[in-house]
Every structure is written in structure tokens, then in C-alpha cells.
Amino acid sequence: MTFSARYRALVYLSLALTFLVVVWGGVVRVTGSGLGCPDWPLCHGEFLPSLDPATRIEWTHRFLAITSGSAVAAMVVWTVARYRARGPVLGLAIAAAVLYPLQAVLGGITVVLELSPEWVTLHLANAELLLATLTALAVVVQWPAAGPERFGGWTWLALAAAIGTFVLMLTGAYVRGANATSACLGWPLCGGAMGIPMFGAPAVAMAHRYAAAAVGVIVIVACVEAWRHRREVPGLGPLAIATAATFLAQVAVGAANPLTGFSPWALGAHPAAASALWCSVVALTVLAWRPAAGQRALARDLIALTKPAIMSLLLVTALGGMFLAARGVPPFGVLAATLIGGAAASGGASSLNHYFDRDLDERMRRTRHRPLPAHRVSARLAVIWGLGLNVLAFVVLVVFTNLLAATLALAGTVFYILVYTIWLKRTTVQNIVIGGAAGAIPPLVGWAAITGSLDLAAWLLFAIIFFWTPAHFWALALLIRDDYERAGVPMMPVVRGDQATAWNILAYAASLLPLTVLLFIIGGLGYLYLAAAILLGALFIVFAFRLLRSGASRRRTVARGVYLYSMLYLALLFVAIMVDSTLRL
């Protein structure tokens, strides 16, 4: 399938506008205008305030972000409507749809916390990930067909160059946050001295230069290897040249900073050139890895075992628990540890689920192409991968948060595997009702990571997900009823029929509205959350009622809408918790 010229143009526009937002963000940092608008989402309490220089710079950044977001949203809608059958394209579009609102939330937190260096760096990191996602999408739509499948160690160089460039950008942000930008007045050494600074700001500045030198070697070697293989993949040769040229330009701009006395143009051009290099390296990596099927396969399958889509939704709920427990923005270190530990626990549980469900997956059309039933990954590797991720999760959470959070994460895995996967799923129509408790644990983990305990508001978060799960999962079961019947799994549509399932979906969807309103009363949330909870809950009931009223010929189409909306409902509800908590702070 080829892509229409207008769709490609929209993808390129989204990338260009997002790049402009990131570049202007560098101008905001260089000019010290980050608090030109000291509140969020408005600016001095207005949409269009009086424009002194600092306010004008920061307000322009926000306006560009809104413009970019509109283009990204249009691109995502177009992708889902027209190209959802193209797995990589749909995946990249969904990733952009998640990263963009997250970027807005991180921007608000950064302002509320008055430019905390950690949050400034995280804000930049997410922006660059969004930029990378759109760059990868642009590459895929420009060159829909990959080259011939080949194995070659050089493709790992491209991936190493991309990872190194990303880390290098983060170290550059840290240099800025540590006020070490002008600590070294010479180049390439610090002040012309032959000695190596070991302490203070000069050491921080020189560490960034050492990292740049190491990454630069990898980037140049990767470009040379890409040039040698240019005839194997369309577009690889020009990208190799562009990447090498951009890196050399970045080195020149970096040198110009101390040599010009850190003039404004050099300070502003440095992060812009870094973002351009990042886009170029990402594009090179995507082109290098697309035909390298053998090298991509194992990494792709290991990621597939972790069920990334489910993991992302669970992490959003854990974040909601953290924000509500902290009554605002949680400490950065605890937040990072909880996300890493939570992702590892979720991924490990999913991998073990793949192992125990492999016999069912072989009999279901929807799942027979998964890594285990397709025999692309051995059962032994899946178990080792799952257990290893759970060990990592427990260690990270117990070291960087507390024992309760670590124990809850491990308990979620144990319940999901032993109670739901091995026992309930194969024996009772209430399997997902009881087993859904495993998916309701992440907000408890987030709450416990902050407070070291659990209270009524935490258990209300648990209850919301517990009652959401049957409505969500039974909508999916209606779509793949034949699969479950063939595999012998006693899901609600198989045992009780479609009409009874629709009634149950409506009942559980309706139960969410009073639960979410009760969280407003008990949890100390504001009216923004209340409005979101009522609107989202009412729409869920409407979707469920439409399913109940639909005829047999339209039931699966309507069930698909319920299923998709249910995921959007949970994500937006917990985003509302985070935004409300941040604004109240």
C-alpha cells in the first residue's frame, strides 16, 4: 500500500512544526524565558497577555506547541481512519498521540515547579522522543518498501549512534541546568589547560565534551558503514552524508560557543543543531534496521512479549496514583523509579502470560502469530525474560521507593499468572471480573511509592480499574467470540451470549460514574477532574447503551467502538487526575 501525497505532506508538516517547537524551546532556555509565563496553561492568567520580551518568547513556544499538536492530532486521525492496517505506521501514530499530551503535561509541571532541572531535562527528553517518532514515521511513508533482508553487524552501529546522540542531548541539558555552560572558556580543552578538571562546573562541562567525542566516533563510523551499504536500501546514501554533515556542523557550533564568548546566536544554534542531528540519526537508524529482519526479529519479539500497549495504559494509572498521593507533582527520582519498576513488572507478567497461554494462542486467529505460538521465541527464553523483568522490577522499587510498592508490584504478577491465567481464565465465566484485580494494582504501587501506605483514595483508584476491566474486556470478547469458543475459553459471550454480555457491559460502565465522583469527594480533587469524570463516564454509558440496542449485524462494529473508547476513557480519566493535581499545586 502506498501513501497519498496529502498524507505524506501532513506527516512532514507535523515533523517540521514539532521540530520548530523543540528549537524554540532551546531559545526559551537560552534567553532564560522559561518563566515568562509563570502559570499554566494560561499566561499571567490570560490567553494573550501583555507581551514583554520574556513573555513573548514563552508564549510563542506555547502557541507553536498548540499548532504542532493540531497537526499531530490530524495526522493520527488520518492514520487510524485510512492506514490502520499498516502496523508500523499505526504504532508510530499512536506513540505520537501518547507523547504529545504527555509533553503538554510535562511542560505544565516544569512551569509549576519553576524550572526544576530534572523536570526540564525530562521535558526535553519527551520532546525528542516525539520528534524521533515523527521522524521514523516520515521515513516509513517516504520509503514504504524496505530493501532486501540482510544480516550485518553495522546496523547495530546505527542504533548505538542513535542511543548515544539521545544521551548526549540529555547531558547537554544537564550542563545547562547545572549552570555549567560557560564554565570552560577554551576549546577543545577547558580554558586551554592540559589538565582535566575533576570537580565543579568545569568537570560537568568537560564530561559533556568527552561524551560528544565518544558519540561522534560512533556516528561517523555508522555513517561510513551506511555509505558502504547505500545500494542495499533506498535513501541510505543521502542520509549517511546528511548525518555526517550535521554532526560536523554541531561540532562547529559547539566550538563556536566558547570561542565567541557564548554569544546568543551560538547558544541558540547549539540545541537546534543537536535536534537536527538527532532527527538525522534516527532516520538513518530506521532505514538501516528496516531491512535487517534477522536482527530486528528477536528485539521485536521480546518487546511484543511485554505487551507494550497494555503496559503504557498501566503506567498511566500508576502515574495517576502518584500524582494524587503527592497532592501535586511527585518527586522526580521516585517517579522515575516507579515507572521503570512498573514497566518491568508489567512486561515480565505479560511475558509469563504468553508462556502459560501459548496452547490457547495457537488455536486463536488473533494470537496465533505471537512469538511463542509462531515458534519465533523459545518457551525457555520467554520464562527467563519474564522472571528477569520481575526481579529487576522488585529490586528497582525496593531500592528506590519502598518495600510495600515492590511487594504490590510482585503480587500483581503472581495474581495475574497463578490466579487469572492458570486458574480462572480456563474455568469460569467470571474470569476477567476476578482476574481484573491484577490490572488494578498499578495505582496502588504508585500511591505506595509516594506514601509508603494505602488509604481509601488509593483503594478507590483500585476499584475504578476493577470495575472498568470487565466492560473493557467483554467488548473485546464480543469481537473475537469465535476465537474464544474455538480455544475453549469460557468468556461471557461464549457462555451467556452477546445480549447478556451487552447488559453486563452497561452495568459495569454505569458503575464507574458514581465511583469516579466518589473519588472527587474523598480524594480532594478539583472541578476539572469532576467535569472530566462526569463527561467521560456519561460517554461510556452512551457507548454501552448503543451496544445493547445494536442488532446482531452491527454488534461487532459497535463493540469495537466500545473497546477503543474504553481505553481512551481510562487514559483520559487518569490524565485528568494528574492535570488537576498539578493545577491545584
In whole angstroms, give the CA distance from residue 552 to residue 564: 19
What DSSP character marks residue 43?
A: B
- Per the structure block, which three cell numbers stand in for 170? 540529555
pLDDT of 208: 79
- Per the structure block, which three cell numbers stand in for 573? 480519566
In whole angstroms, give the CA distance from residue 479 to residue 476: 5
List, for the chain, all residue ranges whose pLDDT scores fall below the cut of 70: 1, 49-51, 145-153, 177-178, 191-199, 290-297, 584-585
In whole angstroms, give the CA distance from residue 156 to residue 411: 37
In whole angstroms, give the CA distance from residue 413 to residue 445: 12
Please name the helix (run of DSSP H) or strand (run of DSSP E) that holds residue 483, with its range, or none. helix 481-487
Residue partners of 70: CB distance under 8 A and separation at least 6: none
The amino acid occupying position 180 is A
In whole angstroms, give the CA distance from residue 356 to residue 480: 20
Q: What are the two backbone dihedrals, phi and then psi, of residue 145, each rounded to the nearest 5 degrees?
A: -100, 125
- Which class for 527: exposed (0-12), middle (13-18), buried (19 or more C-beta within 10 A)? exposed
pLDDT digits (tens, 9 = 90+) for 367-421: 888 999 988 889 999 999 999 999 999 999 998 899 999 999 999 999 999 999 9
pLDDT of 202: 79
Q: Which of 142, 89, 121, 135 is nearest to 25 (CA)?
A: 121
In contact, 505 and 474? CB cutoff 8 Å: yes
In whole angstroms, give the CA distance from residue 484 to residue 482: 6
Is the bond into 41 cis (omega within 30 degrees of 0)?
Answer: yes
How many residues would you count in the chain? Answer: 585
CA terminus-to-terminus distance, the chain: 49
Q: What are the two backbone dihedrals, phi and then psi, of residue 441, each rounded to the nearest 5 degrees?
A: -80, -35
Query: What does each C-alpha distance from 22 to 7, 268, 472 come to in angstroms?
Result: 23, 11, 37
Q: How far is CA 210 from the centre of its chain?
A: 30
Q: Which of 309, 314, 386 is nearest to 353 (CA)?
A: 386
In whole angstroms, give the CA distance from residue 200 to residue 184: 11
In whole angstroms, give the CA distance from residue 11 to residue 72: 8
In contact, 64 and 14? CB cutoff 8 Å: no
In whole angstroms, give the CA distance from residue 235 to residue 16: 19
Residue partners of 77: CB distance under 8 A and separation at least 6: none
Crossing angle (nearest 10°) for helices 527-549 and 498-523: 170
**Does residue 354 come out as left (phi exceeding 0), alpha (psi in the -120 to 50 range) or beta?**
alpha
pLDDT of 292: 52
In whole angstroms, give the CA distance from residue 465 to residue 432: 12
CB atoms within 10 A of CB 372: 24
Q: Which of 416, 310, 306, 390 is nearest to 351 (CA)?
A: 306
In contact, 421 and 356? CB cutoff 8 Å: yes
pLDDT digits (tens, 9 = 90+) for 284-332: 988 887 655 455 567 778 888 999 888 989 999 999 999 999 988 888 8
Q: How many helices (H) and strands (E) does the chain have?
A: 23, 0
- Per the structure block, which three cell numbers stand in for 367? 494470537
Helix runs in 1-52, H state only:
5-31
Residues pairing with 46 in the sheet: 43
The amino acid occupying position 161 is A
Query: What does each C-alpha distance from 564 to 191, 347, 498, 558 come to in angstroms?
Result: 58, 22, 18, 10
pLDDT of 151: 42
